[in-house]
Structure 1
Amino acid sequence: MADEQLNGHGRRPSGDEQLSFPTSIGTSDATSIRLLGRDLAGEMMGQVGFGELAFWLVAGHRPSPGQVRVFEAVLVALADHGFTPTAIAARLTYLSAPESLQGAIAAGLLGGGSRFLGVTEDCGRFLAEILAGVDTYPDDDTGWDAVALTAVRDARAAKRLLPGLGHPVHKQTDPRTPVLIRIAADEGLRGPHLRLFEAIGRVHPQVLGRTLPLNGAGVCGAALADLGLPVDLLRGFALLARTAGLLGHLAEERRAPLGMDIYRAVDRNARYVPPDAS
């Protein structure tokens, strides 16, 4: 009995009962591959872009050209941001295990959290939570400012960080933010999440007492949410984009290695501090 197939209730299928694992993503047989209900080789390869396919796989419907343009602008915006901890982790892992490219990429992706990359999802989720409590969306900036002001005050009272505000490098303006907003507006996709995010950018100085830029990762989260993509999957799109950036870093690491220099800089400047004897 050990090698007999069991059904979902722990019983061996009987009669015409068969195991079933339904999926609408893809399947294959000896002569063909089906993806999203299409023939992969005959209907998709060379006809569907990778960004379009990634959107389609998650949303369950083929995106419009405007949606593809905004979505791919997000992917480009998030692909790389220099020597961030994720890129350094990937390079050092590749230094340690050059035979494991997948390990180096995975090391970089595992660093996508609340400070780097995860802001995309955090911001989208924060905006969605606010909008869930809005019965009717405002018609103008004045109305959105009122919604945003209440949200910022509530977050401040709860001692909650406002995701998407501030950036460790871009202290005045994140150059990605106005471009992505413009692209979304051009395509008629500047929806409630972006409108609310922009309003937060306008009103937060009244509450925080200082002005912080709307960062690119945050605006990407707002834009993705306006595309109707699930907010609890938005970090996945940031990781998808950053995979390309990490692969670029690893290709450069092969051409012009820096990992050993980074390791030696830390190792040679390490300072031993005796543990507290108490």
Structure 2
Amino acid sequence: MSPGRYPEPTVDGVADWWTTSVTRIAPGEVEHRGVPVQDLIGTTDLVSAMWFLVRGDQPSPGEARLLEAALVASMDHGPQAPSIAIARMAMTCGVGINNAMASAVNTLGDSHGGAGQQCVELLNDVVAGSASAGSLREAADVVLTRWRSRSPYIPGFGHRFHPRDPRRDPLLGLVAKAKAEGTVDGAHLAAALEVESLLAEGRERPIPMNIDGATAVIYAELGFEPELSRGFFVLSRSVGILAHAWEERQGGRRNKGPIPPSILPTYRAPAPTERTGDA
């Protein structure tokens, strides 16, 4: 180590290394954001406590209801979801429930679990662009063109399984109600509906918002940064992961694979010229 490159270590320097405003602990004390934990226990619901810990302020009752609705709607989508399937398979391999849950959570990437974050980014772009574009529709058109130049998929819209996601309408209905009550301003809801309208133009079958789009509206209306929407999705989906992992444990199966043992994967035999050592 070069002399003088780092200051002489001190106790205060080590303590400052982990400076945080989230939680303080001391012997016999636990405090979150300046509030003793005993003052939160029994007085604060889990969703409001999550908001408080992440954001540092308390949500209004209307804001807490919206966040709770988004979390409830995203809990699970059955074992055909890769994360759930992986949790169930992992649970039969002799690992603990924490390992099964971690294995599942680690699959929640850009393609499976990331569309909500991407949709918040898209809606933020539409809302920001509407000020200079002259209208929400023009801004949405510009943003869609830009997104389509990167991918044929528009995050938060369309579903490979549901012609119309059953979670869309109740979630958007709650946002509309919250707007009427003054809880949110509704700008991102309007942006999402404009995008949905543009995507439906010239099509026999529309491309409605899916769960990622509907919850993105909620997270954006509540002012959460895009990346936090993925974090909240992970928290929500962890409930489904836990439920499926535990159910699989009760079945007693060992080493469960992705397909029943009676069904073998399709094998494409290489042509003779592709086989190692063949002339």
TM-score surpassing 0.5? Answer: yes
Aligned residues with identical type, % of pairs: 26
Number of the residue aligned with 1:71 = 67
- Quick one: which of 126, 131, 153 aligns to 2:127? 131
Counterpart-to-counterpart distance in 2, 1:159 and 1:247: 33
Compared CA separation, residues 157 and 253, structure 1 to 2 (3 A) = closer
1:86 counterpart (67, 83, 86): 83
1:62 matched to 2:53: no
Amino acid across the alignment from 2:215: C
Structure-2 residue corresponding to 1:145:
137
Identify if the C-alpha distance between structure 1 residues 56 and 160 changes in structure 2 by more than 3 Å, giving closer, same or farther.
farther
Structure 2 counterpart of 1:105: 101
How far apart are 1:208 and its partner, in Å?
6.7
Cα pair distance change 1:159/1:187, threshold 3 Å: closer
Instruction: Report what 2:277 is aligned to.
Output: none
List alignment gaps of at least 5 residues for structure 2. 275-279
1:105-128: per-residue Cα shift (whole Å, max 9, x none)?
A: 011111212332211111111211
Name the CA distance, whole Å, in 2 between partners of 1:168 and 1:264.
21
Equivalent runs, 1:1-278 vs 2, <5 Å? 10-13=6-9, 18-19=13-14, 20=16, 21-41=18-38, 43-83=39-79, 84-98=81-95, 100-135=96-131, 143-156=135-148, 159-171=151-163, 173-188=164-179, 189=184, 191-206=186-201, 211-256=206-251, 262-263=257-258, 265=260, 268-275=263-270, 277-278=273-274
TM-score, L = length of structure 2: 0.84
Structure 2 contact 105–238 (Cα < 8 Å) conserved: yes
Q: 1:122 to 1:266 in 2, by over 3 A?
A: farther
Is the contact between residue 55 and residue 62 of structure 1 (CA under 8 Å) also seen in structure 2?
A: yes
Superposition RMSD in Å: 2.8
The change in CA–CA distance for 1:264 and 1:181 in structure 2 (over 3 A counts) is closer
Q: So what's the TM-score if we normalise by structure 1?
A: 0.84
Once the two structures are superposed, what CA deviation does each residue of 1:39-58 show, in whole Å capped at 9, x if it has no partner?
Answer: 102x1011111111111222
SS in 1 for 2:24: strand
- Deviating beyond 6 angstroms after TM superposition, the runs of 4 or more aligned structure 1 residues are none
Q: Tell me which residue corresponds to 1:4.
A: none
Deviations 1:174-214 (A, max 9, x none): 11111111112222226222210111111212277752121
Aligned residues: 265
CA distance in 1, matches of 2:52, 2:215: 18
Secondary structure of the residue that 1:223 maps to in structure 2? helix
Secondary structure (helix, strand or coil) at the match of 2:127 reads: helix
The answer to whether the Cα contact below 8 Å between 2:155 and 2:212 also exists between their aligned partners in 1 is no
Q: 1:78 to 1:137 in 2, by over 3 A?
A: farther
